[in-house]
Amino acid sequence: MYTKHDLQDTIVAIATPPGEGAIGIVRLSGGQALPIANALFHGKDLHTQPSHTLHYGTIRDQGRIVDEVIVGLFKAPRSYTGEDVVEFSCHGSQWILQRVVELCVAHGARLARPGEFTLRAFLNGRMDLTQAEAVADLIAAQSERAHELAIKQMRGGVSKEIQALREQLIHFASLIELELDFSEEDVEFADRQQLLELINRVRQLARQLMQTFRLGNAIKQGVNAVIAGRPNAGKSTLLNALLGEARAIVSDIAGTTRDTIEEVRNIRGIAFRFIDTAGIRDARDQIEAIGVQKTLEKIRQSNVLLYVFDAASLSANEVHADIERLCARDMELLAVMNKTDLVPQRRPADFASALLPGDRIVPVSAKDGQGLTLLEEKLYDLVIGGHVSFAHTIIANVRHYEALQRADEALAAVASGMADGIPTDLLALDIRRAITFLGEITGEVSVDDLLDNIFSNFCIGK
């Protein structure tokens, strides 16, 4: 992937997103960053300027002014990459930015590869693996919560938690090892009950972190909420009401929505992807049949089912039958009791059952926007869940999750081994594996393919 010489190159890339903007930034990093910048820049001699300063001047190409710019200087090692970094803030024309990059290349820089700035930051010890991964997340963050999560991870929140777990295990392991290596000497043996409690405590912590993964993932990836129900239940009206715009065509004719429509709505910092679907009924024609098929498929791919029913025309039994048919095991369910404007006397309790608890039924009039706030609150609570709060560290990275899972499996083997009375040295073996797995998360165990994997997930210039 990278060769020896690559990392000694000075690299350059446009650091702002493509498209026109008021300003655009070109970033230069490496041993030659200052000389290259100095060669382009007309203003002060950058070599003599202190780090962390801004300078006004022009960039010239053979005497011709390309742009007026502000140059930011960040000298090694106190820079993002740990190398000398120069940032040109130019006017946001793609042509100008491109030209500045070309000039840098002409003076000896090389175009950066995806993620290379962060790779260098990692290699120079400016951040650990979880922090580097967080940078990728931060850049991709689409909602406030996702952003918050990435910031937390970047500041080392996850590493800290994992290290704490790891240290407890190392402590445990050392107790066991003491017993093994000094069995002939007069050592006091570790209290088995205490050891078991420690293992259980660590497992509990590991599992708490694992449980946050669903939330973390929801925050990072967004939540798929599929809107389903019988024809004419008001699904499209609900979608429009949630979005605050007429996105879907609505009519009184059952089966108006043939294809699915997806739109993203941010609710309190979490990106909900609402998917309006064709009504479920015995199809009248082939196109509709395909639509129904597609609805079922969409439901299977979603995290949340918003089942919409017409409170004026459906009986409790019909509602339950629908839910049984639609709701997959692994998903959260909210029943939207629509058209309450027509039947103000109906109450959620009229439709509640063991399958559908009353608090999962939200009375709404999609048409005049009644009950929407409550619906949004319920949706948010469903995803965040009562037991996980943002005060906790949240696992949002599948690599972390898998490592935790493997560590937990190894610890489960320790616990069951203790119950079976297997020899201590074999317990120690599984504890060590757990320690190794946890170490992989923070990069304390160096595994080369991890790097490839992590750094290929970056976008250029970041």
Listed ranges 124-132, 142-150, 348-356, 368-376: which one lies at the site for another protein (CB under 8 A): 124-132
Which of the residues 341 through 380 are near another protein (CB under 8 A)? Answer: none
Q: Is 58 in the site for another protein (CB under 8 A)?
A: no
Rounded Cα–Cα distance for residues 174 and 361 (Å): 53
Under a CB-based contact definition with an 8 Å cutoff, are residues 129 and 442 in contact? yes
Cβ proximity to another protein, 54 vs 426, nearer residue: 426
Cβ proximity to another protein, 159 vs 277, nearer residue: 159
Q: Is 2 in the site for another protein (CB under 8 A)?
A: yes
Q: Could you give the dihedral angle defined by the CA atoms of residues 333, 337, 338 and 339, in that order, rounded to the nearest 10 degrees?
A: 180
| Residue of 120, 339, 360, 462 interacting with another protein (CB under 8 A) | 120
Residues in the chain: 462
Q: Is 415 in the site for another protein (CB under 8 A)?
A: no
Which of the residues 267 through 306 are near another protein (CB under 8 A)? Answer: none
Rounded Cα–Cα distance for residues 131 and 454 (Å): 11
Listed ranges 48-56, 94-102, 156-164, 438-446: which one lies at the site for another protein (CB under 8 A): 438-446
Q: Least distance (Å) from another protein to the CB of residue 446?
A: 4
Q: Least distance (Å) from another protein to the CB of residue 438?
A: 13
Q: Least distance (Å) from another protein to the CB of residue 424?
A: 6
The two beta strands, 53-61 and 64-74, are antiparallel
Under a CB-based contact definition with an 8 Å cutoff, are residues 131 and 150 in contact? no
Element (H, E) at 70: strand 64-74
Under a CB-based contact definition with an 8 Å cutoff, are residues 287 and 258 in contact? yes
| Residue of 122, 172, 213, 458 interacting with another protein (CB under 8 A) | 122
Q: Is 451 in the site for another protein (CB under 8 A)?
A: yes
* Residues 6 or more apart whose Cβ sits within 8 Å of residue 80: 29, 74, 117, 121, 126
- Closest to 460 in 3D by CA, of 110, 220, 147: 110
Cβ proximity to another protein, 20 vs 448, nearer residue: 448
* Residues 6 or more apart whose Cβ sits within 8 Å of residue 15: 25, 26, 27, 87, 461, 462
Question: 3-state DSSP helix/strand/coil percent for the chain, to nearest 5?
Answer: 45, 20, 35
b/e per residue, 431-456, with b = 16+ CB within 10 A?
bbbbbbbbbbbbbbeeeeebbeebbe
Q: Is 154 in the site for another protein (CB under 8 A)?
A: no
Q: Give the x/- contact pattern for another protein in 74-113, rule: CB under 8 A.
A: --x-----xx------------------------------
Q: At what angle do helices 157-181 and 144-154 cross, to 10 degrees?
A: 40
Cβ proximity to another protein, 1 vs 54, nearer residue: 1
Rounded Cα–Cα distance for residues 361 and 356 (Å): 8
Q: Is 431 in the site for another protein (CB under 8 A)?
A: no
Element (H, E) at 267: strand 261-267
Cβ proximity to another protein, 180 vs 264, nearer residue: 180
Under a CB-based contact definition with an 8 Å cutoff, are residues 322 and 280 in contact? yes
Rounded Cα–Cα distance for residues 45 and 37 (Å): 10
Rounded Cα–Cα distance for residues 267 and 56 (Å): 42
Q: Is 446 in the site for another protein (CB under 8 A)?
A: yes
Q: Is 69 in the site for another protein (CB under 8 A)?
A: no
| Residue of 423, 453, 456, 459 interacting with another protein (CB under 8 A) | 423
| Residue of 3, 48, 62, 193 interacting with another protein (CB under 8 A) | 3
Rounded Cα–Cα distance for residues 291 and 284 (Å): 11
Which two tokens mark 97?
Answer: 């930015």
Which two tokens mark 43?
Answer: 């203003």
| Residue of 4, 345, 373, 391 interacting with another protein (CB under 8 A) | 4
Other Cβ atoms closer than 10 A to 100: 24
Listed ranges 53-61, 121-129, 348-356, 391-399: which one lies at the site for another protein (CB under 8 A): 121-129
Cβ proximity to another protein, 140 vs 450, nearer residue: 450
| Residue of 85, 118, 424, 431 interacting with another protein (CB under 8 A) | 424
Q: Least distance (Å) from another protein to the CB of residue 140?
A: 23
Which of the residues 206 through 265 are near another protein (CB under 8 A)? Answer: none
Interface with another protein (CB under 8 A), residue total: 47
Rounded Cα–Cα distance for residues 291 and 309 (Å): 18
Q: Give the x/- contact pattern for another protein in 163-192, rule: CB under 8 A.
A: -----------x--x--xxxxxxx------
Listed ranges 237-245, 335-343, 367-375, 439-447: which one lies at the site for another protein (CB under 8 A): 439-447
**Residue ranges that bind another protein, judged by CB under 8 A:** 1-4, 6-8, 31, 76, 82-83, 119-120, 122-125, 128, 174, 177, 180-186, 420-426, 428-430, 432-433, 436, 443-448, 451
